[in-house]
Every structure is written in structure tokens, then in C-alpha cells.
Amino acid sequence: MTQQSTLNRLHGIAALALAACASGGAGSPGGLEEAVIFEQGTLTLVESETGPAQVGLPENITIVITNPSAQTVPNGFGGITVQGSGVMTTARSTAGRCLRNGPPDWICFFGDIAPGAVITVTAAVVPSLPGPMQIGSSVGSQNDFTSDMSPPVDIAAAPTDVQITGSASTGGPARGGFFFYTYQVKNGGPFGVLDVGFSDTLPDALPVTNVLASAGVNCAVAGQTVTCDLGGLGIGAQAQIIIDTVAPPTPGNVTNVASVTSSSPDSNQANDSVSVTVQVR
């Protein structure tokens, strides 16, 4: 069997091992285990993850690389990368040194790995958005290497402040006159958020004549109701929605209320809706 076919076979075995490895829920470890045969020596890699599995809180990554063979593996190296929304803040090794070099997010240079040597790499990843996150680990020697992904860990959302403000183009539109509402939806942080939604059911006296929105925002109109899918918003990100309408033919005050929602817990529900009143002249 050639060296390349050996590596491919071992990579396939590692993939089968991954399928059998449970990722668990919040706080449960995930990881992978594989072995690589080089022209000189053999390396085994075991990767594990522990942490609360929540946005903004570190996940601790541990990678243990062992040379169980009787031969020295020359110029050993390893890499760690994140698949999903997360930032690897640190990576340290008990041998050699690790440098930021994305992707992979970090690469570690071990030097020659002696028979029986055990090298431990520790890293911390801070998830920035909820959803699945995986850790990719690789190990190599000179021109030969292999890599694989851990089972996904489902990162839970963390409380953040999604907020809405709004205003009318005029506080006193003339009877039958054109005016519009402008709304700003913003993620005030401290974490990213997914599945942000906007809704505004205008009073019966105010017909919806047109809707404009920021790039990437999808809006729909059903009768008097405007709904918009804003998708995800990073920290400090915002989107604008403009609704055109016509003032009723009778004078008086007209109040319009719009609201915003998301899939994350909201740390300040008081700013999840906004009320705008105009006085028709």
C-alpha cells in the first residue's frame, strides 16, 4: 500500500469515527481522534472541546498529539481552524510555538517529535453567533498531513439588545398628502443575533403605497401589514426600512406602532417597539 493510499484510508476511518462521536448539548464535549502514518513514524491526534456552548463564552479546545512509534517524526506541525461564527483568541503548545495564520486560524510548529513524545495544544474559541460550530484539526510532518472536522456543537444564543427607532417625514401631513415612516433596526450588542424580523401593521386610514429597505432586507406587504426579514445582525449593525403612505382625508391624530423580534433573548424589551404619532391637518 502506498503512503498516499494509507493516508486516504486513515482519513476515511477518522471520518467514520466522527460519525459515531456524539457532539452533545450545551456544555458537552465534542471532538475527534485519528492516526496518521508518515514515511518516518506515526502520529495520533485526539481533539476535544468543553465549554458552555453559548455566544460570547469561551469554548476550550484541547488537542493531544502523540508519537507512539519508535521513530522520530521530523518537522511536525499542526493547525486549528473554526468553521462557524467564532474567533480563536489563543493557542498554546507544550512544544514549539503557535502563530496566528488564518486559515487555519492558528498553526503550530513542533519541531522533531521524538518517539513516545506527547504534545498538548490548548486553544480558546469565543462564538460570535448562535448555530453550529466545528473545530478543524490537522497534523503533519514535512509535506504530509491530514485534517478533519469535529462534530458540530450547537452554540446557544445569548441575550443581546435588538432595538428599533422610528419617525415620520412630517409630524403634520396635510389631508390626502404623501408622507413616509423611517425605521432603524439596530443590534446594540453585546453579541451577534440571527433571524431579526420587523413588523408594522399600519392603521386602516393609512394605505401602504411602497416599501424600501436596506440591501439584504426582504420585505412583504399583506394588506396593512409590512413584514421584513433582516437575517443576522452583528454587533452595532443596523438596517433601515421606509414605508410610504398617504394621510387620510379627515384631520386628527394617527398613531402607528412598529416592532422588532429576533431568535435571541432580548436584554431590553422596552425598545423592541416604537410608536409614531402624526397630526393630520
* Top-confidence residue, 2 or 42: 42
CATH architecture, domain defined by 3-155: Sandwich (2.60)
Per this entry, what is the length of the chain? 281
- Predicted pLDDT at 173: 97
Domains 3-155 and 162-280 share a fold: yes
Domain 162-280: which CATH number of 2.60.40.1530, 3.90.1150.10, 3.40.50.1820, 1.10.8.60: 2.60.40.1530
Distance CA 77, CA 60 (A): 20
Instruction: Tell me which long-range contacts 166-169 makes (C-beta under 8 A, separation of at least 24).
Output: 166/258, 166/274, 166/276, 167/276, 168/276, 168/278
In angstroms, rounded to a whole number, what is the distance separating the alpha carbons of residues 154 and 127?
10
Write the pLDDT tens digit of every residue in 235-281: 999 999 999 999 999 999 999 999 999 988 999 999 999 999 999 99
Beta strand 193-201 with 252-261: parallel, antiparallel or unpaired?
A: antiparallel
- Hey, which of 38-47, 77-86, 197-206 has the most confident mean pLDDT? 197-206
Q: Is the pLDDT of residue 25 over 90?
A: no
pLDDT computed for residue 239 by the predictor: 96
Residue 175: phi, psi to the nearest 5?
-55, 125
- Has residue 10 got a pLDDT over 50? no
What percent of the chain stands above pLDDT 70? Answer: 84
CB atoms within 10 A of CB 93: 19
pLDDT tens per residue across span 81-106:
898 888 899 999 999 999 987 665 89
Report pLDDT for 1: 33
- The per-residue pLDDT for range 115-149, each reduced to its tens digit, is 999 999 999 999 888 889 999 888 888 767 777 78
Given pLDDT bands bounded at 50, 70 and 90, which one contains residue 12?
A: very low
pLDDT score recorded for residue 62: 92
Per-position DSSP letters for 79-112, written without gaps between them: EEEEESSEEEEEEEESSSEEEE-SSSSEEEEEEE
Q: What percent of the chain has pLDDT over 90?
A: 53
The total of other beta-carbon atoms located within 10 Å of residue 119's CB is 22
pLDDT attached to residue 161 = 96
Q: Where are the domains of the chain?
A: 3-155, 162-280
Dihedral sign, Cα of residue 114, residue 115, residue 117, residue 121:
positive
In this predicted structure, the answer to whether residue 8 has a pLDDT above a threshold of 80 is: no
The average pLDDT across 50-77 equals 90
pLDDT band, residue 160 (cuts 50/70/90): very high
Three-state DSSP state, 18: helix
C-alpha 41: how far from chain center: 38
Mean pLDDT of the chain: 84
Decide if pLDDT at 179 tops 50.
Answer: yes
